[in-house]
Amino acid sequence: MPRRVLRFLRRGRVISLSGFAPTTTILDWLRLDERSTGTKEGCAEGDCGACTVVVARLRDGQLVHEPVNACIALLGSLDGAELITVEDLAEGDTLHPVQEAMVQHHGAQCGFCTPGIVMSLFALHHAHDGEMDRSRVENALAGNLCRCTGYKPIIAAALESCARPAEDRFARTASERIAALAAMNDGRPLLVGDDNRFFAAPTTCDGLADLLLRHPDAQLVAGATDVGLWITKGLRRFDQMITLQRVTDLALIETNEDEICMGAAVSLADAASILGQFDDDLEIMLDRFGSQQIRSAGTVGGNIGNGSPIGDLAPCLIALGATLELRRGEAIRSLPLEDFFLAYRKQDRAPGEFITRIIVPRPGPQDLIRITKISKRRDEDISSMLMALRLTVDEGRIAMARLAFGGMAGIPCRAPAAEGVLKGQLLADAALWRRTAAALAEDLQPLSDLRASADYRMQVAQNSVIKALAEMAGIPSHLTRIVPRRETRHV
């Protein structure tokens, strides 16, 4: 029997809720129900970070503190977790070290983004593993917009306060918090509401398959980094929502010598740590994917499943030769990832069917990978063009080429004409690079929109291919990029 009450930890107490709308966000619950107004709404789309809260969970028995955009995260996603907000950090009149550093460095002017920034730094502080530098701080703050300070004092406050592991009240009471979270973890599925209107959190793949078969119109959701906007911006009010967040078998990463398998509910942050081992470019791309808040909530399956032509993960995984596995009821099937995308916002997924796993073959020693993400702003921006190229090179000759793009058609797509030009040719031949780029005119049909013109998209796609091939042929990346690659690493 499912549990009928949502339970989460808040200020040392277990909150139990049974009467809430399935689409209630954490932010609305905080501001309208609990009347905790320290957490702000800046954009209601998970972009500005003013609403950042920290959600603490148990993972392998350890506490992890993740920054979350409360504006689009669903209240139901808190099941079994602890919710920490800006009001909770100070101890009486004594500010938390990140708060005190923000005051001392004059890191707040108007103060409206400040609660979110404090919470992002609180998460960073608790993620401390002995290293802290400016690039890590910038990465932690990529999802927090500040319009007043120019960030300089905030970065200084972060470097100072996050230099050491956390010794705050949350660290001191870690064992009690772990015990409280463990006590809530009953392994039972959650179903708040009734058959017509519910928020459900199954805990097994079988349970999910069964529930979705019975309610094929229910809205599947994981991190809600896209679905959340359908609620806040589209004002959609789903009656039935099923979250993947507690389906343990969908959160697994399994690896062997030949491939890695990521469950659909693996977060983008976790995917980054494993895919980043394939190649530095994957790590760089995933570092620029959304923000820390988005990457800790958003999932691999979600980024693929929503079928966006500008999702960054799909072209990368297509270039890597990934396979997608889907399930409906008991039936499981798999297909090459590129075949999943049929047309703009249309995918090969039947009602009641869901993505279970993504299987990615490991690159071999002869494989070279290059990824280019082009956007108006380097961090936390949607790509106007993303290029992913994987070559297998044998004694200077290209044995295999997989070239995929995002933002260049209605779906993430391969570039067969350009791949054909590359196959069997000598990589070092600069004329080949230009021929390959020219062939893209056959492969791609970009549009003009607010992010870029079709002309720029095509030009930058061609230039990115030329640049990637030049780098693969041996031109060092410090000559070709503003931010060079590190050593290419293989697992």
- Report strand pairing: 341-343 vs 397-406: unpaired
Following CA atoms 265, 269, 271, 274 in sequence, which dihedral angle do they give, to the nearest 10 degrees?
Answer: -140
Cβ 21 vs Cβ 28: under 8 Å? no
Amino acid identity of residue 159, one-letter, is L
109 is a contact residue toward other proteins (CB under 8 A): yes
Given 34, 138, 206, 325, the residue binding other proteins (CB under 8 A): 138
State which of residues 81, 84, 108, 371 lies at the interface with other proteins (CB under 8 A): 108
User: Which residue from 170, 219, 182, 226 is spatially nearest to 198, judged by alpha carbons?
Assistant: 219
Count CA within 13 A, CB hemisphere, residue 149: 23
C-beta closer to other proteins: residue 25 or 323: 25
DSSP string computed for 181-236: HHHH-----EEEE-SSSEEEE-SSHHHHHHHHHH-TTSEEESS-TTHHHHHHTT--
Among residues 104, 185, 306, 392, which is the contact residue for other proteins, using CB under 8 A?
104
Phi first, then psi: what are they for 285, rounded to 5°? Answer: -65, -45
Q: Of the two residues 154 and 415, which places its CB atom closer to other proteins in the complex?
A: 154
In whole angstroms, the minimum distance from the beta carbon of 483 to other proteins comes to 8
- Tokens standing for 324? 């997608």
Among 142, 181, 242, 439, interactor with other proteins by CB under 8 A: 142
Residues in region 29-68 near other proteins by CB under 8 A: 31, 36-45, 47-48, 50
Q: Which is nearer to other proteins, 110 or 331 (CB)?
A: 110
Q: 142 is written with which tokens?
A: 């990529």
Give the HSE-up count for residue 105: Cα atoms under 13 Å, Cβ half-sphere: 22
Q: Which is nearer to other proteins, 89 or 421 (CB)?
A: 89
Backbone angles phi, psi at 332, to 5 degrees: -120, 135
Question: Binding to other proteins by residue 482, rule CB under 8 A?
Answer: yes
Contact between 26 and other proteins per CB under 8 A: no
- Pick the closest to residue 269 from 68, 8, 2 (CA basis): 68
Minimum gap (Å) between residue 289 Cβ and other proteins? 14
Select from 208, 374, 389, 421 the one that contacts other proteins (CB under 8 A).
374
10 Å Cβ neighbour count for 331? 11
Which parts of 276-315 interact with other proteins (CB under 8 A)?
A: none
- Which spans in 217-358 are helix H? 227-232, 268-275, 280-287, 292-297, 300-305, 313-320, 337-340
Q: What contacts 134, CB < 8 A, 6 or more positions away? A: 155, 159
Asked if 325 interacts with other proteins (CB under 8 A), we say no
- Cα angle: 131, vertex 137, 139; to 5 degrees: 110
Q: Does residue 99 touch other proteins according to CB under 8 A? A: yes
Shorter beta-carbon distance to other proteins: residue 103 or 331:
103
Number of residues that bind other proteins (CB under 8 A): 91
Return the residue of 269, 427, 470, 472 that touches other proteins, per CB under 8 A. 470
Closer to other proteins by CB, 4 or 169: give it.
Answer: 169
- Our finding on whether 14 is near other proteins (CB under 8 A) is no
Name the segment binding other proteins (CB under 8 A); options: 76-84, 171-179, 198-206, 230-238: 230-238
Task: Check if the beta carbon of residue 22 is closer than 8 Å to that of residue 96.
Answer: no
Closer Cβ to other proteins, 4 or 434, answer by number = 434
- Within residues 231-250, the interface with other proteins by CB under 8 A covers 232-233, 235, 237
Q: Which amino acid is at 97?
A: P
Nearest distance from C-beta of residue 452 to other proteins, angstroms: 6
- Which of 14, 63, 95, 184: binder of other proteins (CB under 8 A)? 95
Residues 331-350 close enough to bind other proteins by CB under 8 A: none
Contacts of 265 (CB under 8 A, 6+ apart): 222, 244, 245, 247, 250, 251, 299, 300, 301
SS3 431: helix
Stretch that binds other proteins, among 104-112, 254-262, 400-408, 418-426 (CB under 8 A): 104-112
For strands 62-69 and 52-59, give the pairing: antiparallel
Find the binder of other proteins among 58, 141, 326, 421 (CB under 8 A).
141
* Residue ranges in 429-468 that form contacts with other proteins under rule CB under 8 A: 430, 433-434, 449-453, 456, 459-460, 463-464, 466-467
Q: To the nearest whole angstrom, how small is the minimum distance from the Cβ of residue 159 to other proteins?
A: 12
Compare residues 185 and 459 and give the one whose CB is closer to other proteins: 459
Residues 383-402 that bind other proteins (CB under 8 A): 384
Beta-bridge mates of residue 52: 69
> Smallest gap, in angstroms, from Cβ of residue 111 to other proteins?
3
Q: Which is nearer to other proteins, 291 or 299 (CB)?
A: 291
Taking the least distance from each CB to other proteins, the nearer of 259 and 456 is 456
Is position 376 an interface residue for other proteins (rule: CB under 8 A)?
Answer: yes
